[in-house]
Amino acid sequence: MSTKVKKETPDEVHERVFEMLHTRGIEVAINGLIAVAEDPKAPAPARATAGAALLRSAGFFDRDRDDLSDKKPSEMSPEELSRALQRLKRELADKDARKAIEHVGGDGASDGSLFD
């Protein structure tokens, strides 16, 4: 007797991997950046890069954040709309990351690595 294993379509693979990336992947990436930023033995450039990436992902480098929040979309230029859309996407990803961390237990600790 042969058992047929259902082969995933490219769309199914993409959906599965996308979900993993936006849950466990975000968590692993942020935890890795925090670990490097907090490691006193890590080289200074690595710590600075990790710190900058954390601040950037938290929105601290968005120069026009306050300027755009007061404008209605109908009042924005195409460039401002694009920046506002990118900011909203980052905020949504941040919320997804926080939900993933809460799902794991609140402290970001996981019972396995991304590749288990």
Q: What is the pTM of this model?
A: 0.49
- 87 close to 62: Cβ distance less than 8 angstroms: yes
- Distance, CA of 32 to CA of 38 (rounded, Å): 10
Tokens 């379509």, located at residue: 9
- What pLDDT digit, counting tens, does each position of 7-32 carry? 889 999 999 999 999 889 999 999 99
- Distance, CA of 114 to CA of 2 (rounded, Å): 32
- What pLDDT digit, counting tens, does each position of 60-92 carry? 877 655 555 677 888 888 888 888 888 888 888
Residue 85 three-state SS: helix
